């Protein structure tokens, strides 16, 4: 198995569409509600019609009731724009108002949800992992989650 990916030194090296989506994810950090972890995550989904839907992590006093930024964004996108295929998702993370140095990395549950929307879209999802330093980009969830469960 191989993991194809692209690495970029900074946001300036990205193409216009990826760059705009990563900037939307940075903007989405403003909506993070993380009073327990103090770890802020922002995500932005781009749909096939160009719509961008933002999301941020939402925590709760009953810890497992909270939700990651990626799923907040993806579920909002699907709920508000039913049937419009997903094209790409970008995410970033910060602490104390400062972007983290390493690229944000989605948890397994978020990867599983990405896989389902990718399957629904019928084409590989572009995934852009950034923050304050280098950026990694993947085309297809399989790169982030090999042998994924998608037996619908
Ligand atoms: N978090 C995300 O929003 N996305 C991830 O992929 C990993 C973790 C959030 C959940 C929680 O609010 C905080 O980061 C610390 O785990």
- CB of 47 closer than 8 Å to CB of 85: yes
**Predicted confidence (pLDDT) per residue in 71-113, tens digit:** 999 999 999 999 999 999 999 999 999 999 999 999 999 999 9
Overall number of domains in the chain: 1
Whether residue 19 is contained in a domain is answered as yes
In a domain, 152, yes or no: no
Name the residue range of residue 67's domain: 6-143
pTM: 0.97
For residue 46, being part of any structural domain is answered with yes
Does the beta carbon of 67 lie inside 6 Å of ligand 1? no
139 falls within a domain: yes
Does residue 148 belong to any structural domain of this protein? Answer: no
pLDDT at 57 over 70: yes
Within a domain: residue 126?
yes
Q: What percent of the chain has a predicted confidence (pLDDT) above 90? A: 95
Question: What is the predicted pLDDT for the residue at 151?
Answer: 75
- The chain-wide mean pLDDT, for the chain, equals 97
CATH number at residue 53: 3.40.140.10
Using the predicted structure, report yes or no on whether residue 152 has a pLDDT greater than 70: no
- Catalytic residue status for 59: no
Q: Choose the catalytic residue: 13, 23, 27, 70.
A: 70
Q: Which of 37, 58, 72, 145 is the best mutation target for the ligand 1 pocket, counting ligand atoms within 8 Å of the beta carbon and taking the most? A: 37
């Amino acid at each position: 198995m191989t993991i194809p990916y692209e690495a970029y030194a900074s946001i300036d090296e990205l193409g216009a569409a990826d760059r705009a989506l990563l900037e939307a994810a940075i903007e989405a950090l403003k909506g993070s509600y993380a009073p327990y972890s103090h770890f802020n995550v922002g995500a932005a989904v781009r749909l096939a019609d160009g719509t961008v839907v933002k999301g941020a992590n939402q925590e709760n006093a009953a810890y497992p009731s909270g939700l990651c930024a990626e799923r907040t964004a993806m579920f909002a996108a699907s709920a508000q724009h039913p049937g419009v295929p997903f094209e790409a998702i970008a995410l970033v993370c910060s602490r104390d108002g400062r972007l983290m140095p390493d690229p944000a990395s989605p948890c397994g549950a978020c990867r599983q949800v990405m896989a389902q929307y990718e399957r629904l879209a019928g084409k590989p999802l572009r995934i852009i992992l950034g923050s304050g330093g280098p950026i990694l980009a993947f085309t297809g969830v399989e790169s982030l989650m090999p042998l994924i469960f998608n037996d619908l």
